[in-house]
Amino acid sequence: MLDSISISTILLLGAATALLLTAMLYPSSFLRWLKRKRYQYEVTFSLYMLTPTEKFIFNSGLFLVLSLLIIAACFYLPEHVSTISNRLFYYWFGDEKDQALQSSHKQSVQNMVSTTSNIIREAATQLLGMEKGNGQQGVRSAPLAGLNGNGRGIMEL
């Protein structure tokens, strides 16, 4: 099984291979593109005004910072993402101890809901079991189809 470092290494090698293939297949257009990017880099950071020694110092510092950032991203970012996803899973679903507590709490809530729905069902059956004409209690018929079930109008947990 591949770990995160192996996957990062494979991705970096794939990117380097794609760059090398591009350079081999289209050398003139690739070199033109590289020259344009170098010109844009020198103009953006005003490197054309510096002496060669100052350019070397600036480029060395920039290379060092970018190298450290890329290496840190390759080594530590996958582990950080997995840690964050584990925490998110814990915050969303809780721990095993919390799940046992939630199941007992869920059972008590279901008991309360079923008791409440039974009380409401009984009251509604008595109310609807009355005759329409004179308001007197008629012979109780079978419960109405809309009142059957175990509290389907209430959200089940």
**Residue 121 structure tokens:** 């069902």
Residues 44 and 110 in one domain: no
Q: Look at residue 88 and tell me if it is in a domain.
A: yes
Q: What is the DSSP code string of 53-109?
A: HHHHHHHHHHHHHHHHHHHHHHHHHHHHHHHHHHHHHHHHH--HHHHHHHHHHHHHH
The reported pLDDT for the residue numbered 128 is 74
Q: Long-range contact list for 4-7, CB < 8 A, 24+ apart?
A: 4/78, 4/79, 4/82, 5/74, 5/75, 5/78, 7/78
Q: 10 Å Cβ neighbour count for 141?
A: 9
Residues 58 and 100 in one domain: no
- Give the HSE-up count for residue 50: Cα atoms under 13 Å, Cβ half-sphere: 14
Q: Look at residue 136 and tell me if it is in a domain.
A: no
Residues 109 and 33 in one domain: no
How many structural domains does the chain have? 2
Residues 60 and 49 in one domain: yes
pTM, whole model, 2 decimals? Answer: 0.43
Query: Which tens digit of pLDDT belongs to each residue from 102-117?
Result: 677 677 777 777 788 7
What is the band of 134 on the pLDDT scale with cuts at 50, 70, 90?
A: very low
State the residue range of the domain holding 29.
4-93
Measured in degrees and rounded to the nearest 5, phi and psi for residue 116 equal -65, -40
